[in-house]
Structure 1
Amino acid sequence: MGIAAFFAFYINANLPISMGLVWISNPITIPPIFYGTYLLGALMLGTPPGDFHIELSLDWALNELTAIWIPLFVGSLTVGIVLAVSGYLSIQLAWRMHVASNWKKRKLNRERRQNSDTPPTP
């Protein structure tokens, strides 16, 4: 979180969002995310998902990752693109709604001021 906060501040990014997004990918959530993207990639490529077990060794990484890296890459790329586009569009929509709401409030305030400044007609 500290590194994310530092870079968010340094590049003038949104600090709360940067720090919050760190919690999406952490050591607890990475295995289900990777497994889900692997399954999606295997489905997209039409290959049956293989049975594998995870070991924390260099031998496992060299042997197993060579078999699963293509479906993992395709699934991760697909999920990344879909989430990036949907995140961008939802932020754009939220921003436009916020700006439109502010414009309406300004218009109402301007009309109220104009109506209260005019003297009453006899």
Structure 2
Amino acid sequence: MPKKTLKRLMPDPGTIKNHKYLSLLGSRLHDNNLWHLNRHSAAGAFAVGLCCAWLPIPFQMVLAAVLAMTFRVNLPLSVVLVWVTNPLTMPPMFYFAYRLGSFLLDKPPHYQHFELSLTWLGSAMSNAGPSFLLGCGVMAMVSSATGFMVMHGLWRWTVSRRWKLRRRGR
């Protein structure tokens, strides 16, 4: 089930390899391991994508693509998994990360009246920044490890189930 579903959702490697802007990456983009879908590449892609999703930085997809090329895991899956954080999910996820960081640092959550100014942003980040960044780091590691193990286990379970069905003659 996971392989067929993931293959159907992934874009065609030929289209991506021939894209005019992506040709800047050169021959690294032509590595077959970046496009092959197996238990290890899918589990690694889940780890990379979910880790990058928790990082509070712009261009998370670029970082996911670079890490996928570095670790030679499935590139499209790594990039797509970054979309876990989107404008709808980002506020609750990052709020949870801030609360987790505050708990781990044993600091009470600090709330300020919102203003749209650089001075307010600097003040808010100096107060809440360490808690927020710690929470994001912890959640990146936990979700990355969990995603890797769940995908690895799901893949193994699916393959063993198919082998059992074959032995029974179905």
Mapped to 1, the partners of 2:124 and 2:82 lie a distance apart of 29
The answer for the alignment partner of 2:49 in structure 1 is none
> What letter matches 2:135 in structure 1?
G
> What letter matches 1:85 in structure 2?
A
Within the candidate set 134, 143, 148, 1:74 is matched to 134
**CA-CA distance at 1:88 after TM superposition:** 1.0
The answer for the alignment partner of 1:91 in structure 2 is 151
- What pairs with 1:33-44 in structure 2 (closer than 5 Å)? 33-44=93-104
Q: Give the TM-score normalised by the residue count of structure 2.
A: 0.51
- Between 1 and 2, higher relative CO (CA 8 Å, sep ≥ 6) is seen in 2
**CA-CA distance at 1:85 after TM superposition:** 1.1
Within the candidate set 102, 117, 122, 1:62 is matched to 122
Q: Deviations over 1:24-77 (max 9, x none)?
A: 211232222111111110011101111223444322222211111110011111
Identity of aligned residues (%): 28
Mapped to 2, the partners of 1:14 and 1:94 lie a distance apart of 20
Task: For structure 1, list consecutive stretches of 5 or more residues without a partner in the other structure.
Answer: 113-122
The answer for the alignment partner of 1:52 in structure 2 is 112
> What letter matches 1:80 in structure 2?
A
Number of aligned positions between the proteins: 104
Q: Pick the structure with greater CA Rg.
A: 1
Verify: 1:104 aligned to 2:168, yes or no: no
Secondary structure at the residue paired with 1:31?
A: helix
Mapped to 1, the partners of 2:109 and 2:12 lie a distance apart of 40
Task: For structure 2, list consecutive stretches of 5 or more residues without a partner in the other structure.
Answer: 1-10, 17-28, 36-73
Shift in alpha-carbon separation, 1:53–1:6, aligned structure 2, 3 A: farther
